Amino acid sequence: MVLVLFTACSMKKPVTWQERILKEKMHTSNLVYFEYGNPKNKTLLFLHGFGESKETWRFMVPALSKKYYLVLLDLKGFGKSPKLADHAYSVYDQAREVASFIKKKKLDDLTLVGRSFGGGVALVLALMQKDKLIEPNISRLVLINTMSYKQNLPSMLKTLNQPVIGYLGIHFISNDWMAEEAYRFAFYNNDLISKESTAYASSILSTPLAKYVYLETVEQLIPDDINIMQRRYKEIDLPTLILWGKEDVSIRVNKAYKLHRDIKTSQLKIFPNVGHMPNEESPKKVIFEILRFMELH
């Protein structure tokens, strides 16, 4: 069994810009999404984090949809979007999927709102646009506790990334326990965790191929060429809002300051006593900052 797992890993295509962006064609897997607000208003396209879905943005919809057209997307393999038994689950693969979705939906003057893994996807899309690989439809970025620089995997994901141990763990530990632990790891104040959130996360884990997708994504989470890619953030010149929970233990707040220094057109807001998921733990603060940013840009 171990030999099979290692052999399968060795056969996978490298997780690099060259292999997954330049050599692959754009395509879409009929991604599932929700729409809110008037399509004539400026569009905000929301990209969730690892193991999440479009449901993570629900606390922000009532306020933001009054002024903007919101598109909440389930990334490939997550939420209700198709879960395919392939190896295309890196930020590069997801960026190609989102680029195809944007083209198919004819979205323009677009603000990408990406959190954690979704923020990493947003950064890749911004660089694809910079290189003229996609149409210039992205006008602004909102990056929330976003995946960006080389780092060690958080402890929970490090366990999932171990051959055999990760497979056994995700398949034999209860879905409820995994969902609740993930939220406790992401929140600073556990009293604010919504039971609806953990219940939904648990239910998604029970769907066919969901756990396969989780393991594939964790294995590909840090691109092989991350050292090259992180140097390119300085090329991004879109108006950018960086929001961060100061108490994040998954992606430490020092990454927020570094990203702010690299993206010269960015502004930064740190939320004290908030963890990895400000959009659920402190949505009013996130809404306020997004509204202010959008009014300026």
**Model confidence band, residue 7 (pLDDT cutoffs 50, 70, 90):** very low
> CA 150, 155, 159 angle in degrees (round to 5)?
105
Q: What is the pLDDT of residues 118-138, one digit of tens each?
A: 999 999 999 999 999 999 999
Please report, rounded to a whole number, the percentage of residues in the chain having pLDDT higher than 70.
Answer: 90
Average pLDDT, stretch 137-163?
Answer: 81
Residue 26 vs residue 61, higher pLDDT? 61
Give yes or no for a contact between 21 and 126, defined as CB atoms under 8 angstroms apart: no
Mean pLDDT of the chain: 91
Give yes or no for a contact between 245 and 271, defined as CB atoms under 8 angstroms apart: yes
> CA 46, 209, 14 angle in degrees (round to 5)?
75
Sign of CA dihedral 85, 86, 91, 95: negative
In terms of DSSP bridges, do strands 69-73 and 110-115 run parallel, antiparallel, or are they unpaired?
A: unpaired
Domain boundaries, the chain: 2-296
Query: Which CATH code for domain 2-296?
Result: 3.40.50.1820
Alpha-carbon span 19 to 92, nearest angstrom = 9
Predicted local confidence at residue 3, as pLDDT: 33
Given a cut of 90, whether residue 207 has pLDDT beyond it is yes
Query: Whose CA is closest to 272, among 189, 201, 162?
Result: 189
Given a cut of 70, whether residue 51 has pLDDT beyond it is yes
Q: What is the pLDDT of residues 64-83, one digit of tens each?
A: 999 999 999 999 999 999 99
Residue 15 vs residue 170, higher pLDDT? 15
Residue 171 vs residue 144, higher pLDDT? 144
Given a cut of 60, whether residue 1 has pLDDT beyond it is no
Other Cβ atoms within 10 Å of 249 Cβ, number? 13
Predicted local confidence at residue 152, as pLDDT: 83
Tokens of 293: 């940013």
Given a cut of 60, whether residue 158 has pLDDT beyond it is no
Given a cut of 60, whether residue 297 has pLDDT beyond it is yes
Residue 243's identity, in one-letter code, is: L
Q: What is the pLDDT of residues 26-48, one digit of tens each?
A: 777 799 999 999 999 999 999 99
Alpha-carbon span 157 to 224, nearest angstrom = 17
Average pLDDT, stretch 162-180?
Answer: 70
Sign of CA dihedral 57, 275, 128, 261: positive
Q: What is the pLDDT of residues 217-234, one digit of tens each?
A: 999 999 999 999 999 999
Given a cut of 70, whether residue 267 has pLDDT beyond it is yes
Given a cut of 70, whether residue 238 has pLDDT beyond it is yes
Side-chain half-sphere exposure of 125, counting CA atoms within 13 A:
34
Contacts of 162 (CB under 8 A, 6+ apart): none
Q: What is the pLDDT of residues 173-192, one digit of tens each?
A: 888 988 999 999 999 999 99
Question: Hey, is 249 helix, strand or coil?
Answer: coil
Given a cut of 90, whether residue 245 has pLDDT beyond it is yes
Alpha-carbon span 293 to 297, nearest angstrom = 6
Side-chain half-sphere exposure of 90, counting CA atoms within 13 A:
21
Contacts of 108 (CB under 8 A, 6+ apart): 43, 137
Side-chain half-sphere exposure of 261, counting CA atoms within 13 A:
8
Given a cut of 60, whether residue 8 has pLDDT beyond it is no
